[in-house]
Structure 1
Amino acid sequence: MYDYAQVHVLYTIPPAIALTIVLGPLFTRRDIFKLGFLLAVAVTYTIPWDSYLIRTGVWTYPSDVILGPKLFDIPAEELFFFVIQTYITTCLQILSNKSVVTATFLRNEEDRRDAVGRSLKNWKCAGQIIFGLCSVLPIVAHGGQSTGTYMKLILGWSAPVLLVLWTFAYQLLVALPWTKTWLPVFIPTLYLWVIDTLALRRGTWCIESDTKLGIQVWPHLDIEEAVFFLVTNTLVVWGSFAYDNAVAVLDAFPDLFPSVAGTPSPASLLQALFLPTSEYDTARIQSLQNALAVLARKSRSFYLASGVFTGRLRIDLILLYAFCRIADDLIDDAPSSEEGDMWVQHFSNFLDSVYSTEHDPERFEQALAPFPAKAQSILVSLPTSKLPPEPLYSLLDGFRIDQQFLRGGPQQGLPIQTFSNLERYASCVAATIGELCLSLVYQHNPDRLTDEAVQQKCLAAGGQMGRALQYVNIVRDVATDAQGGRCYIPNEWFSNPSATSPDMHNQEVAHHRKLILDIAFDTYAKNRDAIEDLPRYAQGGVRVAVESYMEIGRILRERMQQGKPLDFTGGGKKGRASVPRSRRIWVGWKTMAGWRGPT
């Protein structure tokens, strides 16, 4: 009795609830809009087709397996199936693509330098031919026999939409890894095949034998049912990617779309979808690709956190952080203090040219010339119009402090003599980044309503939090810094401050590391509540960025309490402490769900 309702209670509602729990904290405005839009389209487009199948007897439902209410002869349980299937599949697509910066997969197909982009033309044409033929086939194959009617109706209903979606989303569908594109199709399809098999065997719904081809994938699963669930899940996933493609175009090219709403309007989405790929800015796309590659290699914590931010804020934060990492690599990895100083000067010249009121293109090109090609692409896209210059110049001051270690000389010449020196250094290299990140947050705030006093309070707290994160970084890297001739523990703290090379593994250093870590957690505890005063759309991402990095501090503190060595990696080798990927993901999810880490 009421078997169809039991199918939902036992098989469809539980995974929907599970996905809601997992994905709920990660939902953004855009995710919710996409989900609502796809649900509306799926239900309205499927109702006429499903009603026709029922009225013509292609499939039927025994009266004793349904609750009774119907819409256009469609049982309420069937209508709910439209909703629950679309919801589950869309959630899987959103979840599997959270880490993807979709704009980096766009291609200008007319750019002769891009072989991948040129090959996409062939994929587009091939797909259009296939789905065009599938759209025509049911009409051509129409005859007096009822055999195969169900398959013809499936193709006639789905193929035209697949053709349109392929035309709008083929770049992402081809360029993205199959785990991002096809896994969200295959997982719910296989699951629904199993459910359908059980329902057909129990007689929950029936397919008229005269309308089938008589082919079964396995016992009780007709080929038509298998194709139906494969096609419907493909429609949902491709619809999701068509939306993602439109949003990526809007976000990636500010020159073409100067202003983009937090939740783009249908008109702007269509405008983006119909934009010829020949107008895509290849240089801009390459700069995003280079920046993301730098981030993935050099800052796994921020790379994780970047997936929680959305839109142009996410892109600009990636570019900003990549700039910082490039500067750190070029200056810190310089073989001599002279070369390090040279790179500091190159970055200073670049900032001078960018923030000059004269806007001299020739001067800008000259400032870019010394940098490697990939670094140049990132520097060109750095959103300097949204960034105050002072923190960027202060960041260079921090690099100048680092260079003092390489110059050698007497002990009193070392830059970190006192805790005040350490505070100033942390302010230069980390508090500045906190201020720059929050500057972008306020520049991209979709609500645009910000109390000036609250904003200044948050910027100050962001600077303090940056210092806290830098203290964690210093505690983690004591041994590796010592190998490079650096020690950020204040020299006056040592019992023998005149020693030119303190032992980085003795109890005295362990005590100092604990003291700096305690200061980091104290600073973090005093300033983390300010995150709640940030614009709501950015709170989650900032929380994840902070908590992901503070988790390194928690691992260090745990090892201190257990008496274990601090100089290790997640794999147990000697080196820098790091947070295993699974733990980073867990911390990120808990943070988005409202969990507050221990202080």
Structure 2
Amino acid sequence: MGFEYALVHIKYTIPPAALLTLLYRPLFTKLDAYKIAFLVAIAVLSTIPWDSYLIRNRIWSYPSHVIVGPTLFDIPLEEVFFFVVQTYTTSLLYLILSKPTFQPIYLSAEREAPHGRWRYNRLAGQVFLLGAIAWGWRCIIEGGMGTYTGLILVWAAPFLLLLWSLAYQFILGLPLTNTVVPILLPTLYLWAVDTLALRRGTWVINTGTKYGVHLWDGLEIEEALFFFVTNTLIVCGQLAFDNALAVLHTFPKLFANPPLLPSPKILVLALLTPCSMYDDARLTGLKEAVHRLKQKSRSFYLASATFPGPLRADLLLLYSFCRVADDLVDNASTLEEAKDWIAKLHKFLNNVYSDTTTSPQLHDQVCDQFPLETQSALLQLPAAKISPKPLQDLLLGFEMDLAFSVASPIETADDLRVYAERVAGTVAQMCIQLIFHLYPSSLTAEDQRRIVAAGNTVGVALQYVNIARDIGVDAQIGRVYLPLNWLSEAGLSYDDVLKRPHHVRIESLRKHLLNDAFLLYENAKGAIEHLPVEARGPIRVAVESYMEIGRILRQDGFVVKVGRSTVPKWRRIIVAWRTLLK
């Protein structure tokens, strides 16, 4: 009896598991727990018979003085725990690294590639894995030095073959941070741990069943292969799971109202859905939405990663519509053209919410009246989940934008509040409507309306921050959003702001606007805590990420640099993590 193997866990496997748990805890969801538990169960159930066979046939062994004693089918309990902790740790690392990626947009990778390429990739992988199984079987039959390698391949390669056949295009299409990195990092770490354990004799590979080749001094090549293969199995299992979730959550016409914790049967059905059945228009809309959010709002893009999959998709599509509509008006070459775009958008919304307009008619209107690069944003708007009034008010906000000029400025703080409610408060209202649609609440209708109203106030606060940041940018395009009575009290005119947007007296007005923003925010942020729990933390992150811009702007001497992020990425990440911990 001994504690050598137990000490390996205490020193080397439990600490990284605990650290990753601490890092990911604010993001941990029921679905994450379900995925990890599912994979841990498969790992333990599939590894016990194989490991038991190796021990009984003296392929490897554990000296009695290094283990506590109790065994399961001749496997030391420390070894069984290794199956659990490795699967858990590698899974957590995968979840952390893949969280920023909106994976559904990679479902289209196969059809975007040159014709036939993906079929050959699938076939090449299948041939390779079948070859590995055949070679492993031959090694086992021949016995001798290749026995351990053969047993690894015959055990692991069939699982990899299944996962590859089901999810190969998803695996190949995703960024390396979702695939290669979560395999290599734990593999390198476990190679180092295994080297120490083999040198100390914590476990022993018996001679005659191994090649005697070392990857480096102390690390048998078979052990290196084992840890690489097992981590590949874990990550590919996570990828196949996420592939199925992406299909379930992205195509409501194929899978209406999938359960939060889908059964293995539903997951397999999703994986077996042919790519030819995917909704190309929806994938295009999502891909363009992600691109727009990355370009236009880095703070909100980071925050979007914290939202559950289905809600994240709807919010991306909503943002895409609002961004496209705003750009159509802002980028118009003349006032008349801008008004024409607003009129077309009004007509579009009327048709969307009309009982008599058919989908083909709506599609024809969008294709006839809007540029190609904007069409997916309009056609994929999740209009069925939100009421028309916030969208119509948003267009009224655009009309107010057009009216603002030297001849017709924002006169008072009340005028500014109305404008902010229309261009930003409406967006917050729609976000909350999407949340309540996806996650039905036990709150009364009155309470829900109160929360929506508070969301409107938070949206106003965020718009004030946006205006405070962009005083110089707005001045370049001839716009001033500071109330005229504020300017007058500071001894400034509309024209002064256009000519000298960084005047010291304008800085005092910037701080005035930021103070108003934080006052509104503090009064309304409590309503966030009454949102469904699935969205509560992510909404806090989205709001706090933007309010952090305001905090930086309030710092003495801070200078806004056009085209550069106001909040460094590392600071946005820290803000998000701290916010989720609350």
Q: Same fold (TM over 0.5)?
A: yes
Residue 117 of structure 1: how far off its partner (Å): 7.3
Residue 565 of structure 1: how far off its partner (Å): 4.3
Comparing 71-80 and 374-383, the one that deviates more? 374-383
Q: What does residue 378 of structure 1 align with?
A: 377
Of residues 305, 309, 312 in structure 2, which corresponds to 1:311? 309
Find the aligned partners of 1:544 and 1:108 in 2 and give their Cα distance: 30
Q: Which residue identity does 2:108 align to in structure 1?
A: R
Q: What does residue 174 of structure 1 align with?
A: 172
What is the correspondence of 1:359-508 to structure 2 with a 5 Å cutoff? 359-360=357-358, 361-405=360-404, 411=406, 413-445=407-439, 448-495=441-488, 500-502=495-497, 503-508=500-505
Find the aligned partners of 1:575 and 1:193 in 2 and give their Cα distance: 44
Contact 2:171 2:239 in 1 (8 A): yes
Provide Cα deviations, 1:31-84, integer angstroms capped at 9, x if missing partner.
111011011110111011101111111111111111111111111110110011
Contact 2:109 2:170 in 1 (8 A): no
Comparing 41-50 and 135-144, the one that deviates more? 135-144
Relative to structure 1, the CA distance from residue 67 to residue 420 in structure 2 (aligned partners, 3 Å threshold; closer, same or farther) is same
Find the aligned partners of 2:367 and 2:518 in 1 and give their Cα distance: 40
Residue 141 of structure 1: how far off its partner (Å): 4.1
Find the aligned partners of 1:526 and 1:117 in 2 and give their Cα distance: 57
Comparing 161-170 and 273-282, the one that deviates more? 273-282
Q: What does residue 199 of structure 1 align with?
A: 197
Find the aligned partners of 1:277 and 1:117 in 2 and give their Cα distance: 14
Relative to structure 1, the CA distance from residue 122 to residue 539 in structure 2 (aligned partners, 3 Å threshold; closer, same or farther) is same
Residue 118 of structure 1: how far off its partner (Å): 4.5
Relative to structure 1, the CA distance from residue 337 to residue 236 in structure 2 (aligned partners, 3 Å threshold; closer, same or farther) is same
Find the aligned partners of 1:4 and 1:238 in 2 and give their Cα distance: 28
Find the aligned partners of 1:364 and 1:497 in 2 and give their Cα distance: 49
Find the aligned partners of 2:463 and 2:510 in 1 and give their Cα distance: 13
Relative to structure 1, the CA distance from residue 187 to residue 216 in structure 2 (aligned partners, 3 Å threshold; closer, same or farther) is same
Find the aligned partners of 2:548 and 2:570 in 1 and give their Cα distance: 12
Q: What does residue 127 of structure 1 align with?
A: 125
Contact 2:52 2:75 in 1 (8 A): yes
3-state SS of paired residue (2:144): coil
Residue 147 of structure 1: how far off its partner (Å): 2.1
Contact 2:348 2:366 in 1 (8 A): yes
Comparing 23-32 and 491-500, the one that deviates more? 491-500
Residue 364 of structure 1: how far off its partner (Å): 4.2
Find the aligned partners of 2:323 and 2:310 in 1 and give their Cα distance: 20
What is the correspondence of 1:180-579 to structure 2 with a 5 Å cutoff? 180-360=178-358, 361-405=360-404, 411=406, 413-445=407-439, 448-495=441-488, 500-502=495-497, 503-558=500-555, 562=556, 564-568=557-561, 578-579=566-567
Find the aligned partners of 1:476 and 1:314 in 2 and give their Cα distance: 26
Contact 1:60 1:207 in 2 (8 A): yes
Residue 359 of structure 1: how far off its partner (Å): 2.1
TM-score by length of 1: 0.93
Residue 148 of structure 1: how far off its partner (Å): 1.1
Find the aligned partners of 2:191 and 2:563 in 1 and give their Cα distance: 49
Contact 1:494 1:508 in 2 (8 A): no
Find the aligned partners of 2:362 and 2:287 in 1 and give their Cα distance: 26
Comparing 168-177 and 51-60, the one that deviates more? 168-177
Comparing 478-487 and 356-365, the one that deviates more? 356-365
Q: Which residue identity does 2:372 align to in structure 1?
A: A
Q: Which residue identity does 1:471 align to in structure 2?
A: Y
Residue 240 of structure 1: how far off its partner (Å): 0.2
Contact 2:462 2:546 in 1 (8 A): yes
Residue 172 of structure 1: how far off its partner (Å): 1.9
Q: Does 1:583 align with 2:562?
A: no
Contact 2:139 2:149 in 1 (8 A): no
Find the aligned partners of 1:536 and 1:554 in 2 and give their Cα distance: 27
Comparing 229-238 and 143-152, the one that deviates more? 143-152
Comparing 211-220 and 370-379, the one that deviates more? 370-379
3-state SS of paired residue (1:449): coil
Q: What does residue 58 of structure 2 align with?
A: 57
Find the aligned partners of 2:305 and 2:262 in 1 and give their Cα distance: 19
Relative to structure 1, the CA distance from residue 372 to residue 17 in structure 2 (aligned partners, 3 Å threshold; closer, same or farther) is same
3-state SS of paired residue (2:208): helix
Residue 449 of structure 1: how far off its partner (Å): 3.4
Q: What does residue 597 of structure 1 align with?
A: none
Relative to structure 1, the CA distance from residue 212 to residue 565 in structure 2 (aligned partners, 3 Å threshold; closer, same or farther) is closer
Q: Which residue identity does 1:540 align to in structure 2?
A: G
Residue 363 of structure 1: how far off its partner (Å): 4.9
Residue 372 of structure 1: how far off its partner (Å): 2.2
Q: Which residue identity does 2:392 align to in structure 1?
A: Y
Relative to structure 1, the CA distance from residue 449 to residue 137 in structure 2 (aligned partners, 3 Å threshold; closer, same or farther) is farther
Contact 1:108 1:277 in 2 (8 A): no
Residue 577 of structure 1: how far off its partner (Å): 6.0
Of residues 137, 140, 146 in structure 2, which corresponds to 1:139? 137
3-state SS of paired residue (2:370): coil
Find the aligned partners of 1:497 and 1:33 in 2 and give their Cα distance: 60
Find the aligned partners of 1:554 and 1:357 in 2 and give their Cα distance: 46
Residue 536 of structure 1: how far off its partner (Å): 0.3
Residue 304 of structure 1: how far off its partner (Å): 0.7
Find the aligned partners of 2:115 and 2:531 in 1 and give their Cα distance: 40
Q: Which sections of structure 2, spanning at least 5 residues, go unmatched?
A: none
3-state SS of paired residue (1:264): coil
Find the aligned partners of 1:108 and 1:10 in 2 and give their Cα distance: 42
Residue 369 of structure 1: how far off its partner (Å): 2.1
Residue 267 of structure 1: how far off its partner (Å): 2.4
Comparing 284-293 and 423-432, the one that deviates more? 284-293
Find the aligned partners of 2:563 and 2:486 in 1 and give their Cα distance: 24
Contact 1:344 1:396 in 2 (8 A): yes
Residue 399 of structure 1: how far off its partner (Å): 0.8
3-state SS of paired residue (1:268): helix
Residue 542 of structure 1: how far off its partner (Å): 0.3
Q: Which residue identity does 1:581 align to in structure 2?
A: K
Find the aligned partners of 1:246 and 1:275 in 2 and give their Cα distance: 9
Find the aligned partners of 1:422 and 1:519 in 2 and give their Cα distance: 11
Contact 1:349 1:367 in 2 (8 A): no
Contact 1:108 1:117 in 2 (8 A): no
Provide Cα deviations, 1:289-344, integer angstroms capped at 9, x if missing partner.
11110111011111111101112111010000011111122211222212211211
Contact 1:540 1:591 in 2 (8 A): yes
3-state SS of paired residue (1:335): coil
Q: What does residue 93 of structure 1 align with?
A: 94
Q: Which sections of structure 1, spanning at least 5 residues, go unmatched?
A: 569-573, 595-599
Residue 512 of structure 1: how far off its partner (Å): 1.6
Find the aligned partners of 1:470 and 1:589 in 2 and give their Cα distance: 23
Residue 345 of structure 1: how far off its partner (Å): 1.6
Find the aligned partners of 1:567 and 1:379 in 2 and give their Cα distance: 33
Q: Which residue identity does 1:377 align to in structure 2?
A: S
3-state SS of paired residue (1:343): helix
